[in-house]
């Protein structure tokens, strides 16, 4: 069993990934931590509680960061044109959900849960990296206690999605992402190189919903506006970014990777760009030296990934 803490900003594709984690038989979802990104942390936390209630998820929800690790960074507007005003495709969601939150802030929940399960926890982070960076700053020793970290974020050999060179989760808090990439733990980076070519069509999702229970029908409903948004890039379908990171946990053989140290550009016109120095390539001394070698996904068997998501949602 993989013990997973899911750090998330739900978020439409976050919701699909949550249902995947909840339903995959080899995954023990032991916590959900929320972060700002697709909406404010108040909204993403309410959405996490809403999905927990609707989908009968046992894992506790701990509320996380609402500002970048560097508090002086200027915040942009929420991407309501992607995930809706309410972060869940503007389906009907109650103002508040009457379920208790874990009393700890997300980063402390992460620290304490990792310490209670040394060597066993996989952190799957699919929003800004702020909670993980906070956890590392407060308790750097957790780097040696986490099993591995799988993130959705970044882009290496393809363009970004919020600037020509940057992806949203990294661009939203580049300093935090650089802390996470350079810490002495194993990070697997599942970025746009693989997620932007892994799409689920409207018809495919509708078919899954027709065969599935009310949880899958809810997922189908909340995905409709997101699919509309992707008209510019996908033929009547959506990129399933965050689910790709979850699939990596249970099926890494569906990905091809390169290894190397990863840095994040902080500031300037390339703010949020992720850059890997592939192991074995020789350069003059530089800012990538002496850092841990991370795993960067460069290829994916998209059809198999999409089918695995379908089968998991349907409990096949």
Residues that bind Ca ion (CB under 5 A): 9, 11, 14, 126-127, 242
Position among 82, 151, 244, 306 found at the interface with ligand BDR (CB under 6 A): 82
Least spacing, CB of residue 154 vs ligand BDR, in Å: 9
Task: Choose, from 7, 9, 102, 225, the residue flagged as catalytic.
Answer: 9
Nearer to Ca ion, 85 or 287 (CB): 85
The answer to whether 38 contacts ligand BDR (rule: CB under 6 A) is yes
Rounded to an integer, what distance in angstroms lies between the CA atom of residue 80 and that of residue 131? 22
Nearer to ligand BDR, 173 or 242 (CB): 242
- C-beta of residue 154 within 8 angstroms of C-beta of residue 128: no
Active-site residue, 9 included: yes
The answer to whether 242 contacts ligand BDR (rule: CB under 6 A) is yes
Nearer to ligand BDR, 117 or 302 (CB): 302
Nearer to ligand BDR, 11 or 237 (CB): 11
Task: Choose, from 107, 178, 241, 242, the residue flagged as catalytic.
Answer: 241
Residue range at the interface with ligand BDR (CB under 6 A); choices 11-19, 40-48, 178-186, 251-259: 11-19
The answer to whether 168 contacts ligand BDR (rule: CB under 6 A) is yes
Least spacing, CB of residue 284 vs Ca ion, in Å: 37
- C-beta of residue 103 within 8 angstroms of C-beta of residue 147: no
Active-site residue, 279 included: no
Nearer to ligand BDR, 61 or 125 (CB): 125
Contacted by 176, from ligand BDR, Ca ion, none: CB < 5 to 8 Å by type: none
Q: How far is CA 219 from CA 39, 47, 86, 146, 210, in A?
A: 18, 13, 15, 31, 12
Nearer to Ca ion, 14 or 167 (CB): 14
Q: Which residues of 189-215 are buried (b: 16+ CB within 10 A; e: fewer)?
A: bbbbbbbbebbbebebbeebbeebeeb
Rounded to an integer, what distance in angstroms lies between the CA atom of residue 142 and that of residue 120? 12
Contacted by 168, from Ca ion, ligand BDR, none: CB < 5 to 8 Å by type: ligand BDR
Binding characters for ligand BDR, 125-144, by CB under 6 A (x = yes): -x------------------
Least spacing, CB of residue 125 vs ligand BDR, in Å: 9
Least spacing, CB of residue 282 vs ligand BDR, in Å: 32
Residue range at the interface with ligand BDR (CB under 6 A); choices 87-95, 132-140, 161-169, 197-205: 161-169
Contacted by 237, from Ca ion, ligand BDR, none: CB < 5 to 8 Å by type: none
Position among 2, 7, 13, 260 found at the interface with ligand BDR (CB under 6 A): 13
Catalytic residues: 9, 241
**Contact residues for ligand BDR, defined by CB under 6 A:** 11, 13-14, 38, 82, 126, 152, 161, 167-169, 241-242
């Amino acid at each position: 069993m993989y013990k997973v803490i899911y750090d998330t900003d739900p978020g439409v594709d976050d919701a699909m990934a949550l249902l995947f984690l909840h339903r995959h038989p080899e995954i023990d979802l032991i916590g959900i931590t929320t972060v700002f990104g697709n909406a404010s942390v108040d909204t993403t936390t309410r959405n996490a509680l809403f999905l927990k209630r609707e989908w009968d998820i046992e894992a506790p929800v701990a509320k996380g960061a609402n500002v970048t690790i560097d508090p002086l960074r200027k915040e942009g507007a929420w991407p309501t044109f992607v995930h809706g005003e309410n972060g869940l495709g503007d389906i009907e969601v109650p103002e508040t959900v009457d379920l208790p939150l874990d009393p700890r802030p997300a980063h402390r929940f992460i620290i304490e849960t990792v310490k209670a399960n040394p060597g066993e926890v996989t952190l799957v982070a699919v929003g800004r990296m702020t909670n993980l960076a906070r956890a590392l700053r407060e308790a750097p020793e957790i780097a040696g206690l986490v099993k591995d970290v799988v993130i959705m974020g970044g882009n290496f050999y393809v363009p970004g999605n919020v600037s020509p060179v940057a992806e949203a989760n990294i661009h939203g808090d580049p300093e935090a992402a650089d802390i996470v990439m350079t810490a002495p733990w194993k990070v697997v980076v599942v970025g746009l190189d693989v997620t932007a070519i892994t799409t689920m069509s409207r018809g495919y999702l509708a078919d899954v919903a027709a065969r599935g229970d009310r949880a899958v029908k809810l997922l189908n409903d909340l995905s409709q506006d997101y699919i509309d948004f992707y008209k510019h890039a996908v033929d009547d379908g959506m990129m399933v970014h965050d689910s790709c990171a979850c699939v990596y946990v249970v099926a890494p053989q569906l990905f091809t990777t390169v290894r190397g140290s990863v840095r994040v550009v902080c500031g300037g016109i390339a703010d949020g760009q992720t850059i890997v120095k592939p192991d074995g390539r020789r350069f003059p001394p530089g800012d990538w030296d002496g850092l841990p070698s991370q795993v960067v996904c460069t290829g994916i068997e998209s059809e198999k990934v999409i089918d695995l998501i379908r089968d998991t949602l349907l409990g096949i």
